[in-house]
Amino acid sequence: MMKILITGTNGLLGQKLVSLAGKRNAIEILGCGRGPCRITEPPPNFQYAECDITNPGQVLAMFGGFSPDAVFHTAAMTNVDECELNPEACRMQNVEAVKNVIAACEEYGAHLIHLSTDFIFDGKDGPYNEEARPNPISIYGESKYEAEKLVKNASCTWSIVRTVLVYGIARGLSRSNIILWVKDSLEKGKEIQVVDDQFRTPTLAEDLALGCLLIAEKKAEGMFNISGKDFLTPYDMALQTADYFGLNKNLIKKASAATFSQPAKRPPRTGFTIEKASQELGYAPHSFAEGIEILAGQMNQLSGS
């Protein structure tokens, strides 16, 4: 029996991890988050604890009561503009909380699987492999890079999972994604401006959850890029979404990133190469087109339930 602890259980990746690990009989899951659990149909091998991971005492107490074998640290402040406007809150959640999780992993001998981001790069020459040199251009990116350095210096075993533009849907989440936004806008007949000078490898949340679980099951250590395989602009993604749902593509207008005034800088060209994860983990993500189809099915299920 493997015991796993998931921080940020109420978030998109957290919920997908619980769903996936919940189907494995040989796994016992402890999820934690701020406030009550949002998972409406928890699997039988799942329990939940409220925990403020910025509080070191609470983190150690939670670990002591469960003694996890592996820890998925998915909790973070991920709104890039909010991080830029509230750097102290960003540091507390993305750096100080990581120190607490590392200390607890070291104390209890747990393997740490830490989630990171393409925003640690400046976006000048993506897609990036695992050896590329980080150079963040936002406070969010700086906080995640600092967290990576803390993890690399930890005395527990560790893996860092870098990912890109995660999309998906889950109950109780207000945050939208490009597929839902494009579908909703075009169905209402709204003209939308979509960036065509930024490049990403968008990642289906289920694929990211599977990549993380493969790392835990194989006890793989080190750095892994876990993302989608298609190198696309948001404009490309919008066109594919319109095609799938049979909506009017003429409402989609190309725009440059400079059109939008946002507090935080975005790296123009990121995305990841995933050969290492493919070879060492057997990771094989869905295409973006397949991801749209999966989301469409989930939307139908949610609307029908």
Beta strands in the chain (DSSP E): 2-7, 27-33, 46-50, 70-73, 111-117, 158-163, 166-167, 192-195, 203-204, 222-225, 252-255
pLDDT tens digits, one per residue of 170-218: 877 877 899 999 999 999 999 999 999 999 999 999 999 999 999 999 9
pLDDT tens digits, one per residue of 50-78: 999 999 999 999 999 999 999 999 999 99
Kindly state the average pLDDT of the residues 6-32.
96
**2-170+201-229+270-288 CATH fold:** Rossmann fold (3.40.50)
Is the pLDDT assigned to residue 43 strictly greater than 90?
Answer: yes
The gap from C-alpha 271 to its chain's centroid, in whole angstroms, comes to: 14
Domain assignments of the chain as residue spans, ordered by start:
2-170+201-229+270-288
Model pTM above 0.75:
yes
